[in-house]
Amino acid sequence: MFGSFQKSHLRIELDAPASAIRDSLLRPESLQKWLWPQRLSSGLPDQLHPGLTFTSWIGPVTIQHHIEVAEPNCLRLLLSEGIDGYHEWYWADGWVQSRLEGVSLLPLNIGQTLSLLRLQQFLAQK
């Protein structure tokens, strides 16, 4: 894998209950709405579950996601191709925390920050 090792840990407050945050992270239909411009592969189930592998794209960059853990307050994805590493999410009423580590040419901290801000905006509009 080309790139440099990067890690980013962010936590933000959200005006949303844990159930709304969970649905935004574990339901591909909702995930696709706020994760733009990242696109998800088609044919995903209604809810993400352990063992599921899917693809996403950021422009021409492909990222494989393998779900290791999907629980009511936690999601852990192993990443490969465009990012070799992992992404963990934890949440509860009023907050979400994201930890991303991996080797990539992509600027992971900037992308993670923008994604969390889009999630915050998406939940505020609900």
pLDDT for 96 equals 98
Best CATH choice for the domain 4-125 from the list 2.60.40.10, 3.40.50.1980, 3.30.530.20, 3.40.50.300: 3.30.530.20
Token pair for residue 72? Answer: 């009511």
Asked if 40 and 58 touch (Cβ cutoff 8 Å), the reply is no
Separation of alpha carbons 92 and 49, rounded Å? 19
Per-residue pLDDT tens digits for 21-66? 999 999 999 999 999 889 999 999 999 999 999 999 998 999 999 9
Which amino acid is residue 40, in one-letter code?
L
Question: CA nearest 31: which of 124, 126, 115?
Answer: 115
Angle of the 108-125 helix axis to the 18-26 helix axis, nearest 10: 120
